[in-house]
Structure 1
């Protein structure tokens, strides 16, 4: 593979073997940024810097328990800081529709 290129493996629905795709770049076009370490907003940045939150599973949103209590950088669940909706995408996967958030 030439320098500077990326390669991904994709297994299409109904196929058993993955296909290799090589290109110059990989663009995430799934919507807003879910890795809060890369979000360029003051609130998420300060919550991370102050250790009040930590990245969620697979770096999708932030870590929290099933009730939404946010997990801080020291592994302690907050009694005051809770999350719901898109910040919990790493836990719930679908967290944007009203019906998804209502379940949380």
Structure 2
């Protein structure tokens, strides 16, 4: 029992240190993130967006959808190219003004 009492504070300190280190890495990753054009298919739509992506990969930290284009839209190519153009301009402006994190 005495051994448990001596080990418990050490265990708690290690856990707290691990959590603090993880948060610091998350903050560094967020500061180095860049806005980039992304597009993907979802539920029969092509989504064109600007995503805040960490430089080392991983899930987007934030996303601004520019357009959701139905797969069968007769103007799909025109809408897709226009949406990419808008997304590229938006990414340029978001990156030049500093990265504002959501929340």
TM interval, short-chain normalised = under 0.3
TM-score by length of 2: 0.22
Q: Normalized per residue, which structure has more strand?
A: 2
Task: Answer with 1 or 2: which has the greater Rg.
Answer: 2
TM-score by length of 1: 0.22
Q: Normalized per residue, which structure has more helix?
A: 2
